Amino acid sequence: MSARYMPRSGLGRVVHSFEETAIATLLGLMTLVTFANVVLRYVFNSSLIWGLEVTLVLFAWLVLFGISYAFKITAHLGVDAILNMTGPRPRKVLTLLGAALCVVYALLLMKGAWDYWAPFGGFDQTSGRWFPTGFQQTRDQAWYETEQIPMPDWLRFIEPMFNMGEEYEKLPRFIPYAMLPFGVALIVFRTVQALVEIATGRRAGLIVSHEAEEAVEDLSATHLHDPQTGKD
């Protein structure tokens, strides 16, 4: 997926491979479920009743996972018109300021993600308006279920822990929703990592604007060149 990013360590290569595999798997599962539903609907006059909900969950996981991955490989698009009008030192200061704002935003998002997911997992939300100052007692909503996704039998062991021993008819919401705090935690980590790398000179910025322009130019040159005649 990333032609320019190269992990610096063995652990980095393992993590990088896992992230790319996870993203490819999520995209593949989305495609497979959607394709199967289309075939069942138009050929057999049937459908997977849980297909649409599963696809929505997988898409949400893909987006959250992909955001942090794009931060890591510097794949987010951006506008650097103002940065290009400044010198090297002001450019680095502005880049650090932008990265710091991304970290602050990610931390705010982390609080919101936890507070949204916590009741579904039977945990307490955080107190404080902007940043957590502690925990406050929250009504347990672990009994909430998804609309159509069936409950796998191999997950029945969680019922005594989260549903007071009662059986779930459908998959509990805290399982698919768990990607929200997990994905945002990855975003926090990747934004902090990017800030440190920019400060230490190992990264130039957060966006891929110049690389995108070069990719478009290379693609245009490829299409304008006729490989059979060798002429433009």
Q: What is the mean pLDDT of residues 61-77?
A: 89
**Angstrom distances, CA of residue 230 to CA of 218, 220, 222, 224:** 16, 15, 11, 10
Residues recorded for the chain: 232
Match 């059979």 to its residue by tokens.
228
pLDDT digits (tens, 9 = 90+) for 104-157: 999 999 999 999 999 998 889 898 888 888 888 888 888 889 998 999 999 989
pLDDT digits (tens, 9 = 90+) for 8-61: 777 878 888 888 999 999 999 999 999 999 998 888 888 888 989 999 999 999
Q: Are the CB atoms for 57 and 14 separated by under 8 Å? A: no
pLDDT digits (tens, 9 = 90+) for 166-209: 889 999 999 999 999 999 999 999 999 999 988 988 888 887 75
Q: Which residues on neighbouring strands pair with residue 170, listed in sequence order?
A: 150
**Angstrom distances, CA of residue 189 to CA of 102, 154, 226:** 11, 32, 46
Domain boundaries of the chain, sorted by first residue: 10-224
